[in-house]
Amino acid sequence: MQGREEAQRGYLDVEALAGELLAPGSVFAFLASHRGRLFPDSMMEDLFPSRRGRPSVPAPVIGSVLVLQALQGLSDRETAEALTYDLRWKAACGYGLTDTAFHPSTLTYWRRRLAGSGNPHRIMEAIAEVVAETGVLKGKRRRAVDSTVLDDAVARQDTITQLIAAVRRFGRDVPGGQDLVGVHAKGYDYTRTGKPDIAWDDPDAKDGLICVLVTDALALLAVVDPETLEGTAADAYALLALVAGQDVEPAEDSDGTDGRWRIARKVAPDRVISTVDPDTRHAHKTQSRQQDGYKAHIVIEPDTGLITVAELT
């Protein structure tokens, strides 16, 4: 259940004892005065629909902690230590002098809840509000631009694996998909687990399986009107159409209508590398180094280290 911050302060409340030591206009002073308005209990109510169980960390506290962690670039363990030993953190988060922090894994739990919610960026939006209202960037016009590659958490898939996975997803997510696969995709047993039993070092064997899988995929795409689909069903249809075309080409001397296909001799631009996460791509930080994942682009105010703009591509 959702925990709530007590309105009545304890006699060891750090903000009450030493709040005047906080630098005026600082993030710490702002959070100490406004965390309840910035992170009201209603902000997190959708994450805790049940009224039973142990109370969570109150929204004003966890919101303030996540803001400070992001601004200072701390690990979860370092964040817990700061909340226990740094008086500025205690004042900003409403802690008493002898209060200790929650376990570092609590931050992982909250990030997962937020990521799976309808508004996963609510904390970042609050950070933007903090930056604007504290005026920490007032008069600071210099900016530094940088980018980095963020590794994904999925394995790169070959063409055959992607085709099989995309047909299976079509069967799961498209209405009546299982029946359609059973009727129109008979070239391969899509209920079978593990890699197909072929001679993987034989190009002809691989191309033969490619022919079967692409023919099945095209047959499924032909019997469904994509205009009637939405949500996950539309996504499954689009993914199957994409993987059935991005890595294959008509076989030599084929016009593309006789069911003969082969793996394309060149890599498709912006190739999908995994059906588990279709958005991840091959990314290059340098010409010689290739990673699978996303490229993060940031704009930073160099004196404070605050990120003013961020984009993921």
Identify which of 55, 35, 46, 53 has the alpha carbon closest to the alpha carbon of residue 120.
46
Instruction: Give the range of the structural domain holding residue 232, as residue numbers without chain letter.
Output: 159-263
Q: Which of 116-120, 132-136, 179-183, 233-237 is predicted with the least confidence, judged by mean pLDDT?
A: 132-136
185 and 104 housed in the same domain: no
Question: Does residue 4 form part of some domain?
Answer: no
pLDDT higher at 264 or 220: 220
- So what's the pLDDT on residue 88? 92
| Number of structural domains in the chain | 3
Q: In this predicted model, what pLDDT tens digit does every residue of 258-271 receive, in sequence order?
A: 777 777 666 555 55
Question: Does residue 99 form part of some domain?
Answer: yes
SS3 148: strand
- So what's the pLDDT on residue 104? 92
- So what's the pLDDT on residue 78? 95
Are 141 and 109 in contact by the 8 Å Cβ rule? The answer is: no
Q: In this predicted model, what pLDDT tens digit does every residue of 66-88 receive, in sequence order?
A: 888 887 889 999 999 999 999 99
Across the range 164-185, mean pLDDT stands at 91
25 and 132 housed in the same domain: yes
The answer for residues whose C-beta is within 8 angstroms of residue 103's C-beta and 6 or more apart is 80
Question: Does residue 199 form part of some domain?
Answer: yes
288 and 257 housed in the same domain: no
Instruction: Give the C-alpha separation, 277 to 235, whole Å.
Output: 12
Burial class (CB in 10 A: 0-12, 13-18, 19+), 51: exposed
- So what's the pLDDT on residue 122? 83
Q: How many CA atoms lie within 13 A of 17 on its CB side?
A: 15
Q: In this predicted model, what pLDDT tens digit does every residue of 181-192 receive, in sequence order?
A: 998 988 889 888
23 and 127 housed in the same domain: yes
Cα first-last separation, the chain:
36
Instruction: Give the C-alpha separation, 287 to 313, whole Å.
Output: 18
Q: Which of 46-55, 108-117, 180-189 is predicted with the least confidence, judged by mean pLDDT?
A: 46-55
Residue 206 has pLDDT above 80, yes or no: yes
131 and 25 housed in the same domain: yes
Residue 294 has pLDDT above 60, yes or no: yes
Q: Which of 86-90, 269-273, 293-297 is predicted with the least confidence, judged by mean pLDDT?
A: 269-273
Structure confidence at residue 308 as a pLDDT band (50, 70, 90): confident
Residue 284 has pLDDT above 80, yes or no: no
- So what's the pLDDT on residue 264? 66
Question: Does residue 258 form part of some domain?
Answer: yes
Q: Whats the size of the chain, residue-wise?
A: 313
